[in-house]
Structure 1
Amino acid sequence: MTSRLYPYYVVACLMLASALSFLDRLVLALLIDPIRADLALSDSEVSLLVGAAFATCYVGFAFVFGRWVDLHGRRNAVVVGITLWSLATAACGLANSFGKMFAARAAVGVGEASLNPAAYSMIADYFPTERRGVAMAIYACGASMGGGLAILLGGLVVQWAMDTRPCLPLMCGAEPWQIVFVVIGLPGVLVALLFALTVREPPRRYAPSEAEHPPTYGEIWQHLRRNARVFLPMFTGYAFLAVSGYAFSVWGPAYFMRLHGLSPAAVGLLFGIGYGGFGTLGVLLGGMICDRLHRIDAPVVVTIGAIILQAPLFIAAYLLGSTMLAIISFVGGMFAASMVAGMQAAMVQSLSPSRMRGMMAALYGTVVTIAGLGIAPTVTALLSDHLFDGPMGIGKALAVTTAGALALAMILIVAGRAGAAALATRLQGAQPDGA
């Protein structure tokens, strides 16, 4: 493989890892009702499995892996992470109580905390600034493809397991949802092996004025403190975008099954086409627009446009009585929302010195995960349980969560735009030619 093509091969491997992580993370959304019935849980308790169990450990270990990324090899961090989250996903299939499921989901969070800090840092070192938009969009396709694949494959596997009641080794008599976790989790070990054998650690790109050694915690804190007027609105604004995104990822399947009567297989097809197909097109379009704008604040400009497009589409999808119109609006919303996927990574890179990218990605991932998985599923479930008459009120709960989150995201990102552009310009000016 030529040296010119190899960086794209690495991005493709990282995209595969990202797709796998979202597959393992989001397949639970398709299994909410059978798990809720078998383990006798409420929507609020299920939301803890979807969100808090995963998010707590993801947040805690993001900084561990972020520091590892800045100090040591990034490839090995990814290999360890993929192996751990894949085995933990399979372990979800062995759980027969809330406590065991909570522990397995927590282990998935530990493993997945490795990926973004390592990927953000590796891609920034493999690609110069002017080509990072598309590179990050390709990586971000893993989220849309993985999310769509999770629901598509999950729907098919659930239907297969329900129809055939297969007897897997050591799992005869297991419930269909338990089989889904095992079948989806174990292949990830092969992806970890592929990464270990074929991906090389890239040399780090340092600015001329930048010391070629990992930053101390004091230096990271000083960078954050000096630029607090940039990081606070930008990171918080993107976090509210995550609230909207995880709300539809977690509760969207249940909404279409409960209120529109779709089967798991039909929901799988809807998400496979909408999230995996149109979502992936949205990610790539966002990356191409970003690179063609030739503006230092291009990621933020694309993000603002995506918010304006997605807000009315999602709200309409959750409130429309017509199944067909709800599906069309939902798919359109996923397309617009996915345009942001590569932009958030490009934004973090542009606001971070090279030697701090691992820790800055960990910090960003922490903020977004707390909001997206730690808050969004539970807030939506609480609204449904206590304000909108229980499980059948999930559509209204989704509409309220989405409207509030996107409004706050728009206000904060617009407020931080000028400061972010100034900081990115200052950091880019310190980069060597071609970096």
Structure 2
Amino acid sequence: MSTVKPQNALYRITVCHYLIAALFFLALTVMFLFSTEAISGHYFQPKILALTHIAALGWGTMIIFGTLYQLLPFILETSLFSIRLSWFSLAFFVPGVILLVYSFWVFNPGLNMQIASLLIFVAVVLFNLNVFLTVKDKKQKSIVTEFILTSCIWLSLTVLLGGLMVFNFTFSFLPKDHLQFLRLHAHMGIAGWFLMLIIGVSAKLLPMFLVSKYQKTHLLSYSYYFINAALLLFILDGYVYGINFKTYVISFLGVLGICFYMAYVYQCVITRIRAGIDLPMLQTLLSFILLALAILTLPFVLYYHLKHNALATNLSVFYGILIFMGWINSLILGQTFKILPYVVWLKCYEHLTGKVKTPLPADLIGNGLLYLQFATFLVFLLTFIPGFLFSYDILKYIAAGSLLLTALCYGIHVVCLLLHPIKTENYEQS
């Protein structure tokens, strides 16, 4: 199959993912607003399962798919293997996510949920096939490529286990307790898919966006091996023994891997040539703080779990919200307005470079919407955390309302970017 694809085709598939993800984000925030009471309960309940999966799949994974289609050719200096495969993957993925989230929300673990899991699995297989066939002809592999490919493998395993758990509701064939598999499923997704992929992509983008001179990759290599070792040990030990004292040691290995990555980020920041940090990058750096805050809750989750204390359940929910609504949200909200303006700029202005004066990608951003988005997200964080920890319902409702405003600002901003009119000097459009 030919790997030469028109830039317009790549633009359309990327933009389609961003628009659908924005709609899923808006739906997530509406569902969150109507689930504030359920959030304080056990994590294995319909509304929390629905929220988790629309955040992880409809919002986070949808954005990642669209971004990788655009960035993988840039990172590897090659062409995407197949635009058609990307559309097929999207065609399976969107109805699968909608059906799965609906099935969890009304908790109907029957045929609809099973069909949804199969649709999502097929979509992921097609996505991974596209990624691996794009990478296979690249002779020189890098640690960035290893992170991306490994994350795709973990995504497949996460979705496969999730599908088995869905069918287990009806046929009860899994040999262990369902909650035990749920913990494994969740951390395969969080650490194996999201963390590995984010580290791999950000390792390429952060130095570029910060204009950093730092080029060494040994910290990333340490991070790769420690995180994967911790995840494999967690799955093996967790399957056989469940949560136990050894989980502390395994978690420490994973945290050490994240610390190596954080050290890499720090080196990129302190060696940057550009003095200031713009708002999208500030929101990206905030996401790392939220990740660190989530990691700090883990020892308490383990401690109270081993003590069979009910606080373990509440802290597990808090940990999950910090991951999905904090870390992943903040990262996407920041990086969208570093990546998408460049994508739009390529579409509108690349062919005019050197012919006429054109704006920079950063000039395409609406600063008013960007500041409002950042402000409402901060209000969400500052009200939700104390509201959850101290059971203040009014603060939780304010947080949910603020996050809804964040989603509206994000969606409007994305649409405005995509409707950007071409502006140049001394240029008449033919």
Question: Fold match, TM over 0.5?
Answer: no
Q: Give the TM-score of the pair, scaled to structure 2.
A: 0.32
Q: Give the TM-score of the pair, scaled to structure 1.
A: 0.32
